[in-house]
Amino acid sequence: MFDRLFNYIDGQNDQGMKLDMTSPVTNFVQPDDDQNTSFNFTMSFLIPEVHISDTPVPINSEVFIEERPDLPSVLVREFPGFAHDVDFIHQAAELASDLQAAGEEDINMDTCYLVGYDAPFVIVNRKNEVWF
């Protein structure tokens, strides 16, 4: 997923334009089945504001532009380190458990965002989040 999106911002678009890498990189996670044993991940880069009115069109058919409405307030759990999918899923489960223990009832915990802020070469003080 990352490589396809990176290629898009590296010039594989209808304008051949290179776009600045933005942060955070988000992964929207939603169940693929009723038992929550399989999940769909949708990775997203943010388009730099300077390109919003003339966003280059992706050449790769697996890359698409999605306009999202502003997110409502989200509940966030932040954690450090090099995070892999299993780390994010663990943190999402911890956040869900904490929210349930706090009596939060009106939160859709079937879907979440896994969020990373750092480039791969950043070694220390890495920031990751899970959003509900």
Question: Using CA atoms, how far apart are residues 97 and 59, in angstroms rounded to an integer?
Answer: 42
> pLDDT averaged over the chain?
92
* % residues pLDDT > 70 (the chain): 98
Q: How confident is the model at residue 126 (pLDDT cuts 50, 70, 90)?
A: very high
Is there a contact between 63 and 5 (Cβ–Cβ < 8 Å)?
Answer: yes
CATH superfamily of 2-131: Regulatory factor, effector binding domain (3.20.80.10)
**Which pLDDT score is estimated for 36?**
63
> Partners of 27 in the beta sheet?
43, 114
Is there a contact between 1 and 43 (Cβ–Cβ < 8 Å)?
Answer: yes
Q: Stretch 46-60: mean pLDDT, rounded? A: 95
Q: What is this structure's pTM?
A: 0.85
Q: Measured between alpha carbons, how far is residue 121 from residues 10, 100, 126 in Å? A: 18, 36, 10
Question: Using CA atoms, how far apart are residues 46 and 120, in angstroms rounded to an integer?
Answer: 17
Q: Residue 42, SS3? A: strand
**Which pLDDT score is estimated for 91?**
96
**Which pLDDT score is estimated for 116?**
96
Residues 54-91 have pLDDT tens digits of: 999 999 999 999 988 887 788 999 999 999 988 998 99
The domains of the chain are located at: 2-131
